[in-house]
Structure formats: structure tokens, C-alpha cells
Chain A
Amino acid sequence: KAGVTQTPRYLIKTRGQQVTLSCSPISGHRSVSWYQQTPGQGLQFLFEYFSETQRNKGNFPGRFSGRQFSNSRSEMNVSTLELGDSALYLCASSLAYGGPPGNEQFFGPGTRLTVL
């Protein structure tokens, strides 16, 4: 079974631009979560989508947004990029929304975003 895929793997943008990142979950997984990893802040939760609805949101400004499609694929968008948005953006999928057991998240390889 194929894992979580993320595109693109690397991206370079300049301040003020916007960017869209894509995530395809493991086949059969319906929940997708996004995380940002930076050296200073570590891994931080951005948001979670299930059944095309945002179920959870982390403590990030409104410039960060996302959506989920009917096939469970998800995109996240960052508008008006700032230098501090440079990070590894990770997508994770799980079978369903809610609790264990068996609902562990599986991560993709990430998209490395560099903002110049």
C-alpha cells in the first residue's frame, strides 16, 4: 500500500507570495492533519480535516488555511509569506476522526518550504 505522498517536495518562494501544498493520504484513510516543523518551535499542529471539514485548528494565523476534497486529498495554503514561514510542512493521515485504537497518524515525507 502506498504511503502518504506530498507535493512538491521542495519549494522556494519570496516574501509576500502565496503557496499551495498538496497531500494524498494512504488509500482508505479519511483524516488528514498538517504540521509545521522548524528548528526553534519543533513540530506544531496546524489543522485536521475529516470528511472535507476542518475538525481542529492549531494556533497559527489566518494566513494558514487548508481544505480537503471528497477523495480525502488535502491542500494547505499560506498567503503573504513571511521569512518565518520557512519550514518543513508535514502531512499525516489516519483512518478516521476521533480516538484510538488503530487510529495512529502516518506521516508523509514533507514539503521543504524556503521563503527568501
Chain B
Amino acid sequence: DQQVKQNSPSLSVQEGRISILNCDYTNSMFDYFLWYKKYPAEGPTFLISISSIKDKNEDGRFTVFLNKSAKHLSLHIVPSQPGDSAVYFCAASASGNTGKLIFGQGTTLQVKP
């Protein structure tokens, strides 16, 4: 049972444009969501998080939007840069349990110069 889903295995965008990565979840107990970026042969790098009491969180070029009613979140990267090319994972945890992350399958983002 895939509780966190990233339905797009890959995404290709032009440098300078917006990248939008999507994530859906099924477990209504999840109330904390994170995005990680991963390069080959490295561990995931934390990018940005959002609590269920918010619907938007920004950090520089990265913005995460949360739609609780749709159980959907998205990561926007503006503007996209070639160095953003990596695998992006969406993760979720339940209240008071941030040490147990449930991950999506990942989306490979390619930013073309």
C-alpha cells in the first residue's frame, strides 16, 4: 500500500522556467511533509518542509503548497537551474513521529540549459 505517491517518474524543464513536482498521500494521519533532493551515491538532502496547519511555505527558489482536502502537495522551483537536476522525494510523517518518514518513489528532474 503506497501511502505517498509521486506519479511522475520524470520531469524535464528548460533552465529559467518553473519546475512543478507533485505528490499525493492517502493517510489522513500525516500532518508533516518534506521534500528531499538526492544525487546518485549521496544521501537525500533536506530542501523544505510544511506542516498541515499551513498551505504554503517558501524558502528562496523553493515553495511547497499543501492542499489537505485533496491530500496533495507540490514543490515549485523558480527559476529552475541545471544544478537542480536530481531525484526529488516527497516524504510524510504523522504527528509527533517525525523520525518515521514515509517516502514517495521519487521524481527525476532534468533541467536543460
Contact = CB atoms under 8 A, between A and B. Distances in A.
A109 B42 CA distance: 5
A103 B98 CA distance: 7
A7 interface: no
Interface string A62-97: 000000000000000000000000000010101001
Given A43-B89, A101-B51, A33 B99 contact: yes
A45 B64 CA distance: 23
A98 B98 contact: yes
Contacts of A50: 99
Contact of B44 (A90, A97, A99, A112): A90
Given A42-B105, A43-B89, A100-B49, A33 B100 contact: yes
A45 B49 contact: no
A104 B98 contact: yes
**Interface on chain B toward A: helix, strand, loop, or mixed SS?**
loop
| Chain A CB within 10 Å, residue with most, of B36, B51, B89 | B36
Contacts of A92: 43, 101
Contacts of A97: 99
Nearest to B41: A109
Contacts of B45: 107
B104 A42 contact: yes
A50 B99 CA distance: 9
